[in-house]
């Protein structure tokens, strides 16, 4: 006598032979989230909310206008791998936004970003390079009384004041020294010419130093060709703030926001940090260098996760000057930058051996009991994986050369299922609590995840191995709605297909065998599945 009853359904674990799977695990779980215990149907992508005018494969997506609830405006998109960070500028009413991956690091804001439809429409370089020439200082003719000579040098910075934000460059080289008596003026000439190209410079700032500390003298128009300094020593302003500032390197990648006004990025093996609340300033003394090339960055609280072609690292601290670098407790390289997702206090990413979860509290391969190395590599081609977080789930897409599709890993339950949708890029909108995807569908379009029609799913049970040849006479399927399709296999052969119309038990044709498998197909929620030798056993469950 035998009865098999499944009342809580699980995902797949291909590394386990079908007969050794747990009773609720699946050989196949396609389009059927089982994260609540029942079999549910995934919803297809919703209707298009926006067209993306750029041609080619869209690789990066971002919704600008984050303070406004909207599905349609404004979709920044790129055909390159771009990372975006919103400003942490006090009083920013222009939504200054910064990004890397589209050439050199760039900045934009609402008045210039959303002209037309091909967003972002216009940008600024993120940061200003220091002037490359020094001014010339000359003591002016003086007819007053002699006094104690003051030996001065001057420096000049570029400034761009635009839409509520100030970019200031590092200073030029110091001018020649000049001796000035009390009451005497000095004139600066040969002021460095403003940079051209995409750079915007609205002002110059003049600083002078007497004892090695540069203090603010004046701010003048960028078009000025000279300046006469008549500021008394007691009237000098603040100390030069940008002495150690540098523009970010043109090769900066992986721009990531951190708390306390910080942004991080990387180039090669170097990790860069901006000066707190000065997103255009990236001092060289903040650089941290590790022993493997960096692939991408993730974040958890005040910790930066650095994923490399070797060992992962944690960089911890609240200010770039006191950052500490810690090696993770596991050696697993990151094979896809776009697989990196910060989720539930940890960071998930695709590694050669499986899906990795790292956190300061411990790291592990979360799929080690689901896939072995060869299965993971062959089925998903992990270097192709790009993923996004939504509802505490890791929603991924892959292309293994033979087929494209996706999978979902539910962090809370540890269950893993497949889905048959594919997208080129995505963006998780926190304000809308939606995942939006860029899809090459009759032109590039933006579609929301999970807002379309319910998809059909397939869930196939483990292989129940019987101690002897026997048959089953009846079965029962508890579902939210009907009809549903059930398929029964004995000894690897389909022997019966049943269209289930209601929750009542039904009879099965006579057939004996040793290995039983059951497959559920449909789109309605399923709560339990039972098969037995008799109606009495079926009732006992």
Nearest to 354 by CA among 369, 341, 338, 344: 369
> What one-character DSSP code corresponds to residue 171?
P
Angle at CA of residue 456, ends 453 and 462, nearest 5°: 145
List C-alpha distances in Å: 342 to 76, 162, 294, 436.
Answer: 21, 33, 17, 17
pLDDT at position 1 is 57
pLDDT in tens, the chain (541 residues): 588 999 999 999 999 999 999 999 999 999 999 999 999 999 999 999 999 999 999 999 999 998 889 999 899 999 999 999 999 988 899 999 999 999 999 999 999 999 888 999 999 999 888 999 999 999 998 877 777 889 999 999 999 999 989 999 999 999 999 999 988 999 999 999 888 778 889 999 999 998 889 999 999 999 999 999 999 999 999 999 999 999 999 999 999 999 999 999 999 999 999 999 999 999 999 999 999 999 999 999 889 999 999 999 999 999 999 999 999 988 999 999 999 999 988 999 999 999 999 987 889 999 999 999 999 999 999 999 999 999 999 999 999 999 999 999 999 999 999 999 999 999 999 988 999 999 997 789 999 999 999 999 999 999 999 989 988 999 999 999 999 999 999 999 999 999 999 999 999 998 999 999 999 999 999 999 999 998 888 887 6
Cα 444 to chain centroid distance, Å, stands at: 21
Where residue 344 falls (left for φ over 0; alpha for ψ -120 to 50; beta otherwise) is left
- Nearest-angstrom CA–CA distance, 365 and 358: 9
Angle at CA of residue 338, ends 335 and 343, nearest 5°: 105
Asked if residues 180 and 214 have their Cβ atoms less than 8 Å apart, the reply is no
Residues with Cβ within 8 Å of 10's Cβ and at least 6 positions away in sequence, in order, are: 22, 24, 25, 26, 29, 34, 415
pLDDT at position 536 is 86
pTM for the whole structure: 0.93
> What one-character DSSP code corresponds to residue 124?
E
- Nearest-angstrom CA–CA distance, 120 and 107: 10
Nearest to 236 by CA among 255, 217, 249, 260: 217
Angle at CA of residue 465, ends 461 and 468, nearest 5°: 145
């Amino acid at each position: 006598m035998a009865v098999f009853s499944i009342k809580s359904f699980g995902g797949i674990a291909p590394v386990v032979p079908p007969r050794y799977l747990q009773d609720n695990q699946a050989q196949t779980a396609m389009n059927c989230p089982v994260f609540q215990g029942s079999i549910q149907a995934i919803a297809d992508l919703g209707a298009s909310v926006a067209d993306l005018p750029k041609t080619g494969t869209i690789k990066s997506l971002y919704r600008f206008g984050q303070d406004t609830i909207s599905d349609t405006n404004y979709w920044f998109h790129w055909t390159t791998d771009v990372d975006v960070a919103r400003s942490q500028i006090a009083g920013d009413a222009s939504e200054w936004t910064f990004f890397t991956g589209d050439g050199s690091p760039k900045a934009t804001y609402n008045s210039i970003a959303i002209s037309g439809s091909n967003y972002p429409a216009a940008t600024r370089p993120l940061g200003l390079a220091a002037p490359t020439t020094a001014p010339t200082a000359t003591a002016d003719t003086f007819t007053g009384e002699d006094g104690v000579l003051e030996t001065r040098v001057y420096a000049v910075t570029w400034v761009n004041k635009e839409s509520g934000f100030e970019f200031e460059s590092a200073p030029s080289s110091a001018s020649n020294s000049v001796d000035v008596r009390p009451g005497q003026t000095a004139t600066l000439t040969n002021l460095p010419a403003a940079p051209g190209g995409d750079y915007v410079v609205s002002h110059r700032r003049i600083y002078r130093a007497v004892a090695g500390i540069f203090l603010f003298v004046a701010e003048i128009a960028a078009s000025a060709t000279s300046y006469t300094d008549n500021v008394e020593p007691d009237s000098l302003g603040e100390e030069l703030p940008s002495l150690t500032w540098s523009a970010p390197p043109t090769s900066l990648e992986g721009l990531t926001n951190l708390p306390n006004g910080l942004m991080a990025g990387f180039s090669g093996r170097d990790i860069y940090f901006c000066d707190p609340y000065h997103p255009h300033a990236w001092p060289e003394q903040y650089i941290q260098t590790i022993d493997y090339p960096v692939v991408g960055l993730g974040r958890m609280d005040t910790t930066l996760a650095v994923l490399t072609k070797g060992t992962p690292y944690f960089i911890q601290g609240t200010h770039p000057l006191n950052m500490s670098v810690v090696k993770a407790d596991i050696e697993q390289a990151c094979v896809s930058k776009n697989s990196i997702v910060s989720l539930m206090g940890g960071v998930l990413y695709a590694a050669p051996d499986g899906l990795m979860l790292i956190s300061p509290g411990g790291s592990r391969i979360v799929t080690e009991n689901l896939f072995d190395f060869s299965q993971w590599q062959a089925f998903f081609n992990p270097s192709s994986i790009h993923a996004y977080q939504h509802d505490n789930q890791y929603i991924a897409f892959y292309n293994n050369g033979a087929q494209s599709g996706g999978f979902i890993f539910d962090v809370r339950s540890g269950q893993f299922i497949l889905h048959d949708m594919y997208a080129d890029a995505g963006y998780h909108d926190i304000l809308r609590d939606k995942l939006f995807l860029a899809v090459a569908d009759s032109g590039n379009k933006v579609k929301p995840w999970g807002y379309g029609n319910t998809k059909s799913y397939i869930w196939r049970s483990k292989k129940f191995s019987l101690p002897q040849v026997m048959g089953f006479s009846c079965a029962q399927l508890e579902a939210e709605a009907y009809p549903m399709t059930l398929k029964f296999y004995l000894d690897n052969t389909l022997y019966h297909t049943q269209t289930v119309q209601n929750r009542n038990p039904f009879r099965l044709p006579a057939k004996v065998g040793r290995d039983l498998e059951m497959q559920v197909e449909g789109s309605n929620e399923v709560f339990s599945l039972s098969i037995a030798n008799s109606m009495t056993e079926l009732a006992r469950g």
